[in-house]
A = this chain, B = another copy of it.
């Protein structure tokens, strides 16, 4: 049995806190820097590498991080999780998102079934359905093929699947596996659904309604929005919609849908990209084989998270460095900076994954913690970000740790050679340059042009953003967030903080308000 203890009760945390700080300018300059850049590197799945040479750690600090990981039993807690312990204590639920892509430990029985078999069965059902849609066996009422899939969902049912779709869209087009466009309706703002529908050939669209509970207000509202549009076009909605939901939801057995695919309470929305939530839309868009390759990449990465040795466990190492940055060095935010336009919405997905999981002030027993937990996460793709907020990152009054991502090759492969280099080379040259610029800075007599340096970053480098690489990348960050939650002794798998707003919004709509809430309701004309 693992012991769930607050971080600040552990000796190893105190020792970690008393570490001698690394001077990053010195560490990353000259031959010492070259040595670090080569050595501080951990292989990941799918040919990726996690390089942390430009983080404020050295061998001594790494030893302390390792000691902390051991005392906090971080890998043991992961083991408890994948063996089916009720790790989501607040909601009294198992946490099984890794099982959608593999079996890491013993079989886990729940709801009377083997859960791995359950997830595989859903994946197979989706694959079969998607193949029939692609072959023209399942069509619209007029017998015509569907050409677009539209996901209706919000939060985890939107951000992850959308980010993954954008990440692989061009890859699939280039590699001949692209089956149909995917679009997404999420916001309760009626202009969201109206605009998506206006640009969609609804007669040839298949809609995926995603709601675990079957009661998410935004999603059910947008479902009605879509049904109205289908009715106006003289179409039978039940021939255009599928549901992804839990088996116990009101949607599960409704004749309103062509088919229903199941998720369950053991997978939080933000961890659901590899479940039926991502599976339906991605299998329809790219084919089931691409989705399976994406899962394989994630499964391989998950296996690495089982290692006790932090130098063979990139997610754990990344997590520990993040805890050191947050709780010892005192940094409040982390920027995610993929040098890949295909990852344009990956930071938005990680923003949810991280901030919703670890933005907590009480431990897993409901007691207030005396230390900082999850940081603010934000980011945009490079090189765009360089021309935007990097000014503050380089010369602002706060230090923001950075997580770069880069690939040697582009997805599409079309390129131009200007001034002796391709665009892809320019892209890669920029991310290499940024790591060193942030770490080492550059002295200048004009203090306005002076760069202090000492600004830490890591980079994940891959050959190309393939389905496997994307799966590995996703799993890496999911596991990083999980390990950090374990380190902070919080429950990363509930989200009670979203409830109060929902309750008050219902009161506003029922006109049961007083005080300031009534004034704002009036100001907004509700």
What are some 23 contacts across the A-B interface (CB < 8 A)?
Answer: A30-B515, A31-B515, A34-B518, A155-B384, A170-B191, A170-B195, A189-B339, A189-B383, A190-B427, A220-B418, A224-B418, A361-B395, A362-B450, A374-B396, A376-B398, A386-B498, A420-B509, A428-B524, A429-B505, A432-B517, A436-B504, A451-B500, A459-B520
Residues on B with C-beta less than 8 A from A414 are 190, 194
Given A412-B190, A418-B220, A509-B425: A391 and B519 within 8 A (CB)?
no
Which of A277-285, A295-303, A438-446 contacts the other chain? A438-446
Residues on B with C-beta less than 8 A from A339 are 189
A217 to chain B, nearest CB (A): 7
The A347-367 residues at the B interface (CB cut-off 8 A) are 348, 351-352, 355-356, 358-362, 366-367
Closest 5 CB pairs of A and B: A359-B392, A155-B387, A33-B516, A433-B504, A359-B396
In the complex, residue of chain B having the shortest beta-carbon distance to the beta carbon of A372: B397
Residues on B with C-beta less than 8 A from A387 are 154-156, 158, 218, 269, 352, 498
Does B340 contact A436, Cβ atoms closer than 8 Å? no
Does B436 contact A225, Cβ atoms closer than 8 Å? no
A273 at the B interface (CB under 8 A): no
A307 to chain B, nearest CB (A): 23
Does A187 contact B396, Cβ atoms closer than 8 Å? no
* Cross-interface CB contact of A384 among B30, B186, B332, B369, cutoff 8 Å: B186
A232 to chain B, nearest CB (A): 10
Residues on B with C-beta less than 8 A from A432 are 504-505, 508, 517, 520-521, 523-524, 526
Residues on B with C-beta less than 8 A from A429 are 505-506, 508-509, 521, 524, 526
In the complex, residue of chain B having the shortest beta-carbon distance to the beta carbon of A225: B416
Residues on B with C-beta less than 8 A from A450 are 362
Which of A239-247, A256-264, A403-411, A468-476 contacts the other chain? A403-411
The A116-166 residues at the B interface (CB cut-off 8 A) are 154-156, 158-159
Does A494 contact B448, Cβ atoms closer than 8 Å? yes
A46 at the B interface (CB under 8 A): no
The distance in angstroms between the C-alpha atoms of A359 and B400, with both chains bound, is: 12
A235 at the B interface (CB under 8 A): no
In the complex, residue of chain B having the shortest beta-carbon distance to the beta carbon of A343: B189
A333 at the B interface (CB under 8 A): yes
Does A448 contact B521, Cβ atoms closer than 8 Å? no
Does B415 contact A449, Cβ atoms closer than 8 Å? no
Given A384-B187, A497-B451: A523 and B389 within 8 A (CB)?
no
A238 at the B interface (CB under 8 A): no
A101 at the B interface (CB under 8 A): no
The distance in angstroms between the C-alpha atoms of A153 and B225, with both chains bound, is: 37
A274 to chain B, nearest CB (A): 18
A467 at the B interface (CB under 8 A): no
A255 at the B interface (CB under 8 A): no
Does B221 contact A188, Cβ atoms closer than 8 Å? no
A21 at the B interface (CB under 8 A): no
Residues on B with C-beta less than 8 A from A420 are 509
Residues on B with C-beta less than 8 A from A442 are 500
The A189-222 residues at the B interface (CB cut-off 8 A) are 189-195, 198, 217-218, 220-222
Q: Mark A308-336, 1 if CB is under 8 A from B, else 0.
A: 00000000000000000000000011000
A461 at the B interface (CB under 8 A): yes
Does A412 contact B195, Cβ atoms closer than 8 Å? yes
Given A34-B514, A173-B198, A373-B396: A448 and B362 within 8 A (CB)?
yes
Residues on B with C-beta less than 8 A from A254 are none
* Cross-interface CB contact of A394 among B392, B433, B494, B498, cutoff 8 Å: B498
A297 to chain B, nearest CB (A): 19
A458 to chain B, nearest CB (A): 12
Residues on B with C-beta less than 8 A from A33 are 515-516, 519
In the complex, residue of chain B having the shortest beta-carbon distance to the beta carbon of A335: B376
Given A189-B340, A429-B521, A433-B517: A392 and B500 within 8 A (CB)?
no
Does A191 contact B411, Cβ atoms closer than 8 Å? yes
Does A369 contact B397, Cβ atoms closer than 8 Å? yes
Residues on B with C-beta less than 8 A from A416 are 190, 221, 224-225, 228
A495 at the B interface (CB under 8 A): yes
Residues on B with C-beta less than 8 A from A525 are 408, 428
Given A356-B389, A378-B376, A496-B395: A187 and B501 within 8 A (CB)?
no
Residues on B with C-beta less than 8 A from A440 are 516
A23 at the B interface (CB under 8 A): no
The distance in angstroms between the C-alpha atoms of A521 and B190, with both chains bound, is: 48
Residues on B with C-beta less than 8 A from A423 are 188-190, 193, 221-222, 225
Residues on B with C-beta less than 8 A from A427 are 187-190
